[in-house]
């Protein structure tokens, strides 16, 4: 699968607006210099290293509305486990690394303690 995306006009305008507002607030703090760097297109991962792309293999309680169960195991392919932010339907707005680590630990724990002893679905809808 190939997934591509880019900033749209409204997102670029929002970035400019927020950048200008922040500069206005910071100006009252008396800085020596203000450098404004609103986002511009096209999207590139290089300058946006804090971009946390999420989604693609959503986890949930229902195989009709999600790709993975609570253990990050595929509903359709029981020997497939998907670790990472692809399990989230969206980015909550902050760095998801801690949550990803916790969910990965949760998944690996059940793989080690249960799945390897008896491979198959860990959750039955």
In order, the DSSP letters of 7-72 are --HHHHHHHHHHHHHHHHHHHTT--S--------SSP-TTT-TT-----SS-B-S-TTT-SB-TTS
Model pLDDT for residues 67-113, shown as the tens digit of each residue: 999 999 999 999 999 999 999 988 776 778 889 999 999 999 999 99
Q: In the annotation, is 52 catalytic? A: yes
Confidence of residue 115 (pLDDT cuts 50, 70, 90): very high
d(CA 3, CA 84): 16
Structure tokens at 120: 């198959």
What span, in angstroms and rounded, lies between the C-alpha atoms of 36 and 34?
6
Could you identify the residue written with the tokens 């949550």?
A: 99
- For the chain, which residues make up each domain, given as ranges? 7-51, 52-125
Catalytic residue among 8, 28, 52, 124: 52
């Amino acid at each position: 699968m190939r997934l591509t995306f880019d900033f749209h006009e409204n997102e670029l305008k929002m970035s400019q607006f927020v950048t200008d507002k922040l500069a206005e607030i910071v100006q009252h703090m008396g800085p020596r210099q203000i450098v404004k760097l609103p986002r511009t297109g096209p999207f590139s991962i290089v300058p946006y290293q804090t971009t946390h792309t999420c989604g693609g293999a959503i986890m949930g309680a229902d195989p009709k509305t999600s790709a993975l169960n609570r253990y990050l195991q595929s509903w359709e392919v029981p020997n497939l486990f998907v670790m990472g932010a692809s399990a989230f339907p969206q980015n909550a707005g902050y760095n998801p690394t801690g949550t990803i680590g916790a969910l990965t630990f949760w998944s690996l724990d059940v793989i080690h303690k249960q799945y390897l002893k008896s491979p198959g679905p860990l959750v039955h809808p």
